[in-house]
Structure 1
Amino acid sequence: MAWIEELLKQGEKKVDELEVYSFSGTSVSADLKQRKVSLCSSSIETGLCIRTIDKGKIGASSTNDPGQWQACLDAAIAGGRLATSQEWQGLPDPVTLPAEDLAYDPSLLVEPAMAHDLLLKMLDGAAAHPEASVTSGGAGIAVGEITFANSHGIRYVSRESDVSISLEAISGQSTGYEFDHAFSRGLVNPGNVGEQAAFLASRSAGGKDIPTGEYDVILSPMAYADLLSSIFVPALSGRNVLQGRSKLAGRIGETVTAPLLSLYDDPHRKGEGGSTWFDAEGTPTKRLDFVRDGVLTAFAYDLKTAYRAGRESTGSAVRGGFAGLPAIGHHNFVVDGKRDDIFDEPAIYVNSVVGAHTANPMSGDFSVEMSNPFRVENGELAEPIRGAMLSGNFFDLQRQIVALGKESRAVGSYILPPVKMNDVRVIGQ
């Protein structure tokens, strides 16, 4: 902390306020090319980002060499002088936070041998479907520490760890992909990842055409997360609301999804990758309910947007690495509600979608390719489907959800179950 204390001391002589976000970590990764390890690498990463505020003008600078903090501070101050003054009511003050790290395994070994073992176990799993060939895969292990400090007296430290694995397989013209991630080695299942990727590839081979029409559709957690993150979640950003770019603006208190649905950010969920006691600006985090039983109840704000809107930060600031500036996001976005058996009646199951990023987040209109789709019959995945697309308006589809599957899984920063929707437009051959 010594150099951070000196940085803050010098910065306070020149600007009204400043904050320091520092990261240090180690990682190792290994990649597969077919069934052979093609690359294994390890790295040590350090970096810091400094943000200064003076008379409402915000400046920022970052560096991957903490030893150059003086030059980084000077650059942030110089950038602030060129910025436009805005409404600003101050950085947060310190509070007493729990000392427990929410997603950190101190026993995790960041070493090539563990990454190699994860790859081998995925290959063993894929061997259950010999008709499918492994095309690529990867395993990564990382641990890191975040130090956050500001001129108001905040001195927060948080440790995190992550294990991530993935595999892709092919059978004829059909591919399959699966992944897993968790904060501890014991919580990922490489054998299942390999088996599922190979199963999807082999089972999808020889897919049949489907007529264009309206169908009951089950979206896997991965497919649902892709559409949710591209269309609905941006509409929950206070920044988009303030700028008139949210379809949900002005609709607090209205029903915006099916009544069985609740959507919330739970930053204190133990063991999840996004869990934290403080956000990227040092604001204490808390559960934020966006939608409760189908009714819109809140939007997300960081400090800058909250001050512009005359509100308070919801602790929703996140960063895309140490060089990224704070922006509105979420920590663990949870989709919840009453659970049911959603495979008990005929439907179309969609494992993933391609092209969700092309959707229109303002209107909600989308058209995406279905990846690894199947007909659902007698509670199981039956005939594979070839060359079909989903289209419609995602805001409307949120109101057409009729059931949530029993099991949730983590997909990036989302924790969600498969969902069943009625009368979804499927464009076939």
Structure 2
Amino acid sequence: MDDPEKILKYGSGKADETEVYYARGRTISADLKRDKVSAAVESQSAVLTVRVILQGKIGTSSTNDPGRWKDCFHAALDGAHLVSAQPWKGLPDPVLGDPAPLAFDPDLPMDPQTVQDLLGELKAGAASYKDVEITSGSAELSTGEILLMNSSGITYRRPVTSVGVSLETIREQSTGYEFDHSVYFDIDAGSVGEKAAELAHRSHGGKDIPSGEYEVVLSPIALAQVLGAVVVPALNGRNVNAGRSRLAGHLGEQIADSSLNLLDDPFRPRAPGSTRWDAEGVPTEPVHFIRDGILESFCYDLKTAYRYDTRSTGSAVRGGPGGAPSIGHHNLVLDGPRGPLLEDSVLYIRDVVGAHTANPMSGDFSVELSNPFMAKDGDFELPVRKAMLSGNAFDMLNDVVRISPETRSVGSMILPSIRLKNQKIIVN
């Protein structure tokens, strides 16, 4: 983009405040259809988002053509004229000292051969199981930069990189899926391919189990589904103050097992969401939602904080490169008592289907299990054919036995596997 500062100069006198968010990137990706490359793409993108504030009225507009920044500015200004005013205390001032990025790999090899090599490693890993076929897969490399400027004097830049691979496999009617993503070029694509094939292989010939209460282990993937559908929205300050959160009015109370901690850690080393400033330029900070089982905090962006007379927790994120700021988290981390999870008999749940149908107010959910196994003394002894997990996500926080020593990134969450007692399993 040619001199984004001219947008701020242009906005002076036309709006009380102006914010410019510019994201550009380059991506190289390829897809597998069965075990053949079906598509390979190299692309470049640029998205400009302008936000203006006029007498407490906020307007936002985006464009994929930064050369049309003036049209974008006026679209944001027109939008501001159409909305109601709200309490507003100003965009943040520049306060950051250390500009060094927290999540960036300067040595990421951005070339088609690297993508091809990653696909080859996926296929080689899956070949460990001869009775399993690949149905689809992908590998992607991306690099870019995010620029945030505002009329209060902020000019923040953050380089970004990412690597991602995934593979889906099948053995007759049994499927397996595995993925990995990272900011750094440290992905083991061969292990991803082998795990995807192993899941399809081991899930074959599933048996029914009786309905009843079980001790269960949720993998990080299954745990992320439940937390993301129910617990994360309940910690959103906007939902809390609008009466759409079961946790409203419970600050300072015990809502989880006394050994459990849940926090947003924006400074976690090598984590995908690590950043020194949020999507509005507010300095980030660790936000301890649950500490020793006690509900300690909710999260806020500027707009919601001003509306409810509190402070931003540096929790503003963008839903996409062209999205307006909204409340979210950077690296949601769960911590607690760690130890082995699969000793004696337990139902291991790899993934769940239908978490989006959970009731975010009550926390009640009923989800179909994906790749479940009965495990004993560390071994997956029996694949389970079909079953459902029914319960309450908030009550689940009090049913924790322990969590695994290992964690993995699932989107913007960094989670362990978790063992829970007294979980209701329904088999039709």
Name the residue aligned to 1:182.
Answer: 182
Name the residue aligned to 1:155.
Answer: 155
Name the residue aligned to 1:31.
Answer: 31
Residue 111 of structure 1 aligns with an amino acid whose one-letter code is D
Name the residue aligned to 1:146.
Answer: 146
Name the residue aligned to 1:84.
Answer: 84
* Distance in structure 2 (CA, Å) of the matches to 1:39 and 1:75: 37
Q: Are 1:241 and 1:249, in contact at CA under 8 Å, matched by a contact in 2?
A: yes
- Asked if 1:201 corresponds to 2:196, the answer is no
Residue 344 of structure 2 aligns with an amino acid whose one-letter code is E
Secondary structure of 1:371's aligned partner? strand
Provide structure 1 residue ranges, at least 5 long, that are not aligned to the other structure. none
| Cα offsets for 1:232-263 (capped at 9, x unmatched) | 11000000001100000010011111112100
* Distance in structure 1 (CA, Å) of the matches to 2:103 and 2:303: 28
Matches within 5 A, 1:238-317: 238-317=237-316
| Cα offsets for 1:272-311 (capped at 9, x unmatched) | 1111111001101011100001110000000010011110
Give the drift of 1:270.
Answer: 2.1
* Distance in structure 1 (CA, Å) of the matches to 2:420 and 2:194: 28
* Distance in structure 1 (CA, Å) of the matches to 2:418 and 2:359: 21
| Cα offsets for 1:317-338 (capped at 9, x unmatched) | 0002221000000000000122
Name the residue aligned to 2:126.
Answer: 126
Name the residue aligned to 1:114.
Answer: 114
Residue 271 of structure 1 aligns with an amino acid whose one-letter code is R
- Asked if 1:381 corresponds to 2:391, the answer is no
Name the residue aligned to 1:61.
Answer: 61
* Distance in structure 1 (CA, Å) of the matches to 2:344 and 2:236: 36
Residue 31 of structure 2 aligns with an amino acid whose one-letter code is D
Name the residue aligned to 1:100.
Answer: 100
Secondary structure of 1:153's aligned partner? coil
* Distance in structure 2 (CA, Å) of the matches to 1:355 and 1:343: 25
Residue 22 of structure 2 aligns with an amino acid whose one-letter code is S
Residue 309 of structure 1 aligns with an amino acid whose one-letter code is Y
Name the residue aligned to 2:409.
Answer: 410
* Distance in structure 1 (CA, Å) of the matches to 2:2 and 2:125: 49
Secondary structure of 1:45's aligned partner? strand
Two-structure CA RMSD over aligned residues (Å): 0.9
Secondary structure of 1:210's aligned partner? coil
* Distance in structure 2 (CA, Å) of the matches to 1:96 and 1:133: 51
* Distance in structure 1 (CA, Å) of the matches to 2:69 and 2:404: 50
Residue 229 of structure 1 aligns with an amino acid whose one-letter code is G
Give the drift of 1:204.
Answer: 0.4
* Distance in structure 2 (CA, Å) of the matches to 1:3 and 1:107: 27
The total of aligned residue pairs comes to 428
Secondary structure of 1:270's aligned partner? coil
* Distance in structure 2 (CA, Å) of the matches to 1:380 and 1:24: 47
Q: Are 1:391 and 1:427, in contact at CA under 8 Å, matched by a contact in 2?
A: yes
* Distance in structure 1 (CA, Å) of the matches to 2:248 and 2:17: 32
Give the drift of 1:2.
Answer: 5.9
Q: Are 1:62 and 1:322, in contact at CA under 8 Å, matched by a contact in 2?
A: no
* Distance in structure 1 (CA, Å) of the matches to 2:75 and 2:33: 43
* Distance in structure 2 (CA, Å) of the matches to 1:378 and 1:149: 55
Name the residue aligned to 1:165.
Answer: 165
Q: Are 1:173 and 1:205, in contact at CA under 8 Å, matched by a contact in 2?
A: yes
Deviating beyond 3 angstroms after TM superposition, the runs of 4 or more aligned structure 1 residues are none
Residue 17 of structure 1 aligns with an amino acid whose one-letter code is E
Q: TM-score, normalised by structure 1?
A: 0.98
Provide structure 2 residue ranges, at least 5 long, that are not aligned to the other structure. none
Give the drift of 1:75.
Answer: 1.1
Name the residue aligned to 2:421.
Answer: 422
Residue 384 of structure 2 aligns with an amino acid whose one-letter code is I
Q: Are 1:22 and 1:148, in contact at CA under 8 Å, matched by a contact in 2?
A: yes
* Distance in structure 2 (CA, Å) of the matches to 1:100 and 1:336: 27
Identical-pair percentage:
52
* Distance in structure 2 (CA, Å) of the matches to 1:86 and 1:117: 53
Q: Are 1:219 and 1:351, in contact at CA under 8 Å, matched by a contact in 2?
A: yes
Name the residue aligned to 2:391.
Answer: 392
| Cα offsets for 1:360-417 (capped at 9, x unmatched) | 1111010100001001112211111011010011111111111111101111100010
Name the residue aligned to 1:214.
Answer: 213
Residue 196 of structure 2 aligns with an amino acid whose one-letter code is A
Range 335-344 or range 297-306, more displaced: 335-344
Secondary structure of 1:314's aligned partner? coil
Q: TM-score, normalised by structure 2?
A: 0.99
Q: Are 1:390 and 1:425, in contact at CA under 8 Å, matched by a contact in 2?
A: yes
Q: Are 1:31 and 1:39, in contact at CA under 8 Å, matched by a contact in 2?
A: yes
